[in-house]
Chain A
Amino acid sequence: MSDFFVRLIKKRSLCLFGFLFLCGLIISTGTLAAEKDQGEAARIAPPLKTLMRGFKPADKTEAQVLLRKTDVYIDAQLMSHATSYVAVYINSDEAVRDYSQISVTFNSFYEDIQLEFAHVRTPDGKLDSIKADATQIQSPTDENFYHDRKELLFSLPNVRKGSVIEFQYRYTDTKKMVPNQWFDSFSFHWWEDLAAGQGTRADAILTSELSITAPTSIHLFSSDVTPYQITQKRSAQGQQQTVTWTGKNIAKIELQSDMPREHNYAPYLRVATTDKWNDVARWADGLVEPHLLSDAALAQIVTDIKQTALTPDAKVKAVYQTIQDHIRYVFAHVGRGGYEPHDTTDILKNGYGDCKDQTVLAVKLLRDLGIKADPALIITRGRGIPDMTIPGISFDHMIVHIPAQNGLQEIWMDTTGETSLYPGFSVGIEGQPALIVNEQSKQISVLPSQGPDKHFAHLELVFDKFDGQNAQASFKLTFGGLYEQRLRSMWQYSRERDKYFRELIGQIYNAAEVIELNTSNADNLWQPFVINGRFAFTKVWGGDKEPINYAFSITQLTNLFADLRNLHKPDDRKQPYVNDPGYSLQSRIVFNSPSTRHQLRIKTRGVNIDNPYYKLVQTGTQEPQRYIVEQNLTLKTSRIELANYADFYQKTEELLDSTDWTLAYEYDATAADMAALQSNGKNDIASLIALSKLHIKNGDYQQALETAQSAVTIAPTNAEAHYQLGLALGYTHQFKESDAAFKKAEALGYKL
């Protein structure tokens, strides 16, 4: 699943640029070569020597942030001027690698940032400064994205184990994003990119401090930081107020896979000049409404839809199809700031647009068709779920919201997926915060979550061809929810997709080769994506009169569609574990008999499991000449706190180690004989004796007894019948009767 999310996040995260983390850094070419003794800016932090006084690196720590300090000044026009300082003690080769290069992204449309100084204090006490030729500003070159995002990279000299790095930068608002309002958010950790794009790290920090100074006429609203043991102080001097938040000895954050999406794993603060989401909604509405324009081409589309789509539902679908048919996804917003869409008429004319553009065009068409619709700002899953008690501009996506109205249920429609099934509602936004954009909108909505039954992969496998020592099975994979989106997307974007999918599906049966593979509905936005084909098994049985062994385990599905084998061991897990959304993996396996002469022998049956994390229901049904196994594994939506993680890990191990279905169709002369004997009727003494023997051989002692009793009844002087009866009585613990039967057998001439 992880690569799926990565794909989704990468695309969506570039759609809007509203997030304002204080880690942005820019350096102007004029200040790159700033020397510490040539007009270096005033420090907001004490001298490094003072910071280092009494400092002893903690055991086994890779790096420690000595101080992270930010001073923000908000002027009367609500423009901010901020200075940030960071000092980090480097104590490992990994930290040397990660902190040697610092990367910062920023939106050059709204911000201007200057590096004021950057130094390295080497282990032998020498101070070295950043070199002019070790910095670079670059624009990311993502396909179909044209924007104001920039990235600064700079390398610090002589970073070694035992070094301390320090840098200070200053950024200034150059344009207001939201007139008459100011928003910001602040992480008390310093989040440093890992080398080679392997994520980020947030090391332990001794002191982290944020001060905001603003005119006393401005009311500052801030989120609650008391859960993080961050202290807050307020002071006023003249016409200025200052609020300071300070955290001491903040622990390192270990980011792990499948963490909760809520941001509360790390101290985090949001500050704004309003506590009303309506202010944000009205601002966004003000950006959208002027661009909802119509012209002849757009009106013609509306007319065409009206002629063919007669119901509200049909009209919505027609709009979705129109966007898919006419508007290619392109993000073209250089010099626009990232939040304002293009005119709907231009979007239609250009034939491309990003999420905002597609959304406003869809909204315009829907409204012209008489259907109420608004844009909705979304925070996608890649951004997690911030504390939304204080308004902020941290949205990164826009979709269409169609409220419930006459003839329609509420619909959240996302047209940007290109390949997503109508209405394009993907797992990437499921359960995430949304702000509906109109003048009345006053609160954050939560996008609906779909149950595990909606996110599924279903395998139908039929062993249907036997030839010599070889066999074949046809398969059909159908999907829902995240699997539908993931597999469809993989099919559309994979290079050498046929080869790739053969290898992928081949993982279900390692010993088999996928000899045929077809897909259906890959480009059909109204029908689920389907994969079917055939497995070929070579030399899997002796053929003819030999047994054929079948096996299937639920792990053959989990290995392909879940990532349960790579869970952290309980000792290594530092964060709660979240499975969200829940999903289900289903199979229906038809094991056919290779011939009518083969008899079924079930060796082991899969077990059913029901615990707080998993529900596995398995059934096996015998039908003439075939056995059908059906499995339904539900991986429940769950949040597992650390205290319960070991239990979850153990239950997962138990699931993965649970019993396989193993069965065989064996060419069984005994069974064939039994079938023949049973058909001989109840009065054939030889058949009854033979049948009783076969029952004993198969362990069916009660049936053996009943058959032997029938034999003795119809042939009371048959010695072998009494012998057989003695055996069956003995094996059903009737020993006296058994002895008597054996005696009778001997008396009648049986040589025991």
Chain B
Amino acid sequence: MSCSQTVKHVDAPLASSNLSTASALVSDLEQQLLKDPNNPELHYKLGYAYIAQAEKSKSAADRKQAIREFRNVLKLVPGNENTLTALYNIYYDDVVKGDNKALEKAKTIFNQLSSQARENLNPPSLAYFLQRYIAQKDAREKNPNELFDALLSATREQPASDKAYIQLAKMYRTQGYYPLAIATLKNAEGNQVQSRALYQNLAETYEERAEAGGCTYEKSDSLYRAATYYQKAIPLATDKPDMHYQLAQMFMDNNHYQLALNEIAIVLELAPTAENYGWAAQSYSLLGREQKAFELLDKAKQQGLATSDMAYHEIYMNAGNWMQAALSFTEYLQAQPQISIYDAIKADILRDQTELDFTKVTSGKKINVRNEWEGAVYAYWTNKINRQQFEKTARNRCERTEYYFYSGYRDYRAGNTQAAKQLFKAALQQNTYRFIERPLASLFLERD
């Protein structure tokens, strides 16, 4: 049976204070208590005054006094939620600081709180998680299972809150356990947790899972679900441009270009920055909407987008404006400390189309090969491996998009137009919607 008496609400008297005023308040309240020792409000205020004093003095004794005063309130007004909350916050901090004895006390208090009050607090095991996380970091130890268990406990203590679920899922994600991360977040969803952060994390996890396979387009289900969860997250925080940005990308990847363009418009409305205009221009360019792409690129330029930005030369290349592309590409290259294999290939293509030589700009710059596939691409482009060897290396649609395009371009340059067109068509059929090779393949396909 709950032995709570009528709960009396009393406000915390101190939001901020310096040490001297805190000390003065402590002694004033203690004097008042001498005359009225059973006044719960005075004990409550004194508890907070001690906390304020402890924050300044860093004194454990002051914290202890605060606990004592709050406990005095509970003796006089058992079950007072404000006091229980104040006490809980002290114990929570103590757990984070490494006091494991405080964990049981925190749990005890937490359990005495109403579910409404608990919703506004972090569960006690989350404090323990933080403590262990910090300790492991300091000791350079790795015991993720200990952290997982703490977070699982936290989900049980506060099943209607998203915090512990999200943290747990993030940790699973970091370890590469994407299905488990998704299932964990869905458990929260099953427990009626509805929050922007939960949906956003679900979307991000799906997106990351798709990316983890090496080619997101091979995980179209995940991309679709990522889009779905971004859509669920957006109504809970309509003014966040980053989620509209992510959703636009997901729509692009799912070939829902009209929807993507709508999201792009919202991003520009919410955050009309140079980078966003540049990104929007590239998106339009990928879809073959050149005029709009140039308009947006102009706005990006007006907003201060650096002329060395990749957006300029890629948009010009997609439009077949080779000379402009070459000029922008030169600026781009000059700004790069090192170049990618794709930059090297672009340099060759632009040289073919403009007869401009980029050797002076690229000489002395290291070519950065990030993975095996890029190594294969560059090896084929520089005749280190033959086409059959290159083909065998392409294992997914993303890689095959590049294989078809670059081998097609080699045929195109050699004058084997029909063979090249077959390969460009094959590149387009991979449906890898955000690859720059698609608009280029389309461009060369249209040529005789």
Contacts and interface: CB of A to CB of B under 8 A. Distances in A.
A binds B: yes
Interface of A: 463, 471, 473, 509-512, 537, 540-541, 548-552, 556, 565, 591, 603-604, 657, 659-660, 662, 696-699, 701, 723, 726-727, 730-731, 733, 735, 738-739, 742-743, 746, 751-752
Given A723-B183, A733-B148, A738-B177, 16 more contacts: A509-B1, A511-B78, A537-B1, A540-B2, A551-B112, A556-B3, A565-B75, A603-B108, A660-B108, A726-B183, A727-B180, A730-B180, A739-B177, A742-B179, A752-B182, A752-B183
Contacts of A662: 108, 111-112
A659 B105 CA distance: 7
A699 B2 contact: no
B152 to A, nearest CB: 6
B183 A742 contact: yes
Majority-rule SS of B interface residues:
helix
B107 A739 contact: no
Contacts of A550: 1-2
Majority-rule SS of A interface residues:
mixed
B153 interface: yes
B3 A551 contact: yes
Given A548-B1, A735-B175, A751 B221 contact: yes
A738 B108 contact: no
A471 B108 contact: no
A722 to B, nearest CB: 11
Nearest to A663: B111
Contact of B145 (A541, A591, A699, A733): A733
B421 interface: no
B1 A604 contact: no
Nearest to B157: A699
A739 B179 contact: yes
A219 B179 CA distance: 101
B172 A730 contact: yes
A742 B184 CA distance: 12
Contact of B104 (A540, A659, A730, A746): A659
Interface in B89-115: 104-105, 107-108, 111-112
Contacts of A549: 1-2
A738 B78 CA distance: 47
A510 B5 contact: yes
Given A509-B1, A730-B172, A603 B111 contact: yes
17 contacts: A509-B3, A511-B1, A511-B3, A550-B2, A551-B2, A551-B112, A603-B112, A604-B108, A660-B108, A699-B152, A726-B183, A727-B184, A730-B184, A735-B177, A739-B179, A751-B225, A752-B182
B3 A730 contact: no
B4 interface: yes
Nearest to B6: A511
Given A660-B108, A696-B187, A510 B3 contact: yes
Contacts of B395: none
Contacts of A463: 1
Contacts of A659: 104-105, 108
B156 interface: yes
Contacts of A540: 1-2
B196 interface: no
Nearest to A729: B180
B117 to A, nearest CB: 13
A208 to B, nearest CB: 36
A578 B78 CA distance: 31
B5 A511 contact: yes
A657 B102 CA distance: 12
Given A604-B107, A604-B108, A739-B177, A473 B1 contact: yes
B71 to A, nearest CB: 7
A550 B79 CA distance: 12
Contacts of A699: 152-153, 156
Contacts of A742: 179-180, 183
A548 B3 CA distance: 12
B177 A551 contact: no
Contacts of A698: 156
Given A738-B179, A742-B179, A511 B4 contact: yes
Interface in B177-208: 177, 179-180, 182-184, 187, 191
A436 to B, nearest CB: 49
A604 B111 contact: yes
Contacts of B152: 699, 701, 731
A279 B438 CA distance: 125
Contacts of A509: 1, 3
A717 to B, nearest CB: 19
Contact of A510 (B78, B104, B105, B179): B78
A565 to B, nearest CB: 8
Interface in B135-150: 145, 148
Interface centre among A512, A565, A603, A731 (most CB of B within 10 A): A731
A727 B1 CA distance: 37
A549 B159 CA distance: 19
B179 to A, nearest CB: 3
A509 B79 CA distance: 12
Interface string B57-101: 000000000000001000100100000000000000000000000
Nearest to A551: B3
Contacts of A697: 159, 187, 191
A192 B180 CA distance: 80
B69 to A, nearest CB: 13
Nearest to A724: B183
Nearest to A591: B1
Given A730-B172, A731-B152, A733-B148, A471 B179 contact: no
A461 to B, nearest CB: 9
Nearest to B71: A657
Nearest to A607: B104
A39 B159 CA distance: 94
A110 to B, nearest CB: 47
Contacts of B153: 699
Nearest to A727: B183
Contacts of B221: 751
Contacts of A739: 177, 179-180
A603 B111 CA distance: 6
B2 A752 contact: no
Interface centre among A473, A556, A696, A751 (most CB of B within 10 A): A696
A23 B286 CA distance: 112
A701 B191 CA distance: 17
Nearest to B111: A603
B75 to A, nearest CB: 8
Q: Which 10 residue pairs spanning A and B have beta carbons closest together?
A: A742-B179, A603-B111, A730-B180, A549-B2, A699-B156, A604-B108, A727-B183, A733-B145, A550-B1, A659-B108
Nearest to B175: A735
A726 B179 CA distance: 8
Interface string B1-22: 1111100000000000000000
Interface centre among A463, A551, A738, A751 (most CB of B within 10 A): A551
Contacts of B191: 697
A541 B175 CA distance: 45
Contacts of A473: 1
A701 to B, nearest CB: 8
A541 B2 CA distance: 8
B156 A730 contact: no
A730 B2 contact: no
Interface centre among B104, B145, B180, B225 (most CB of A within 10 A): B180
Contacts of A591: 1
Given A471-B1, A551-B1, A735 B180 contact: yes
Interface centre among B78, B104, B105, B111 (most CB of A within 10 A): B111
Nearest to B108: A604
Contacts of B111: 603-604, 662
A696 B187 CA distance: 9
A231 B3 CA distance: 61
Contacts of B1: 463, 471, 473, 509, 511-512, 537, 540, 548-551, 591
A126 to B, nearest CB: 38
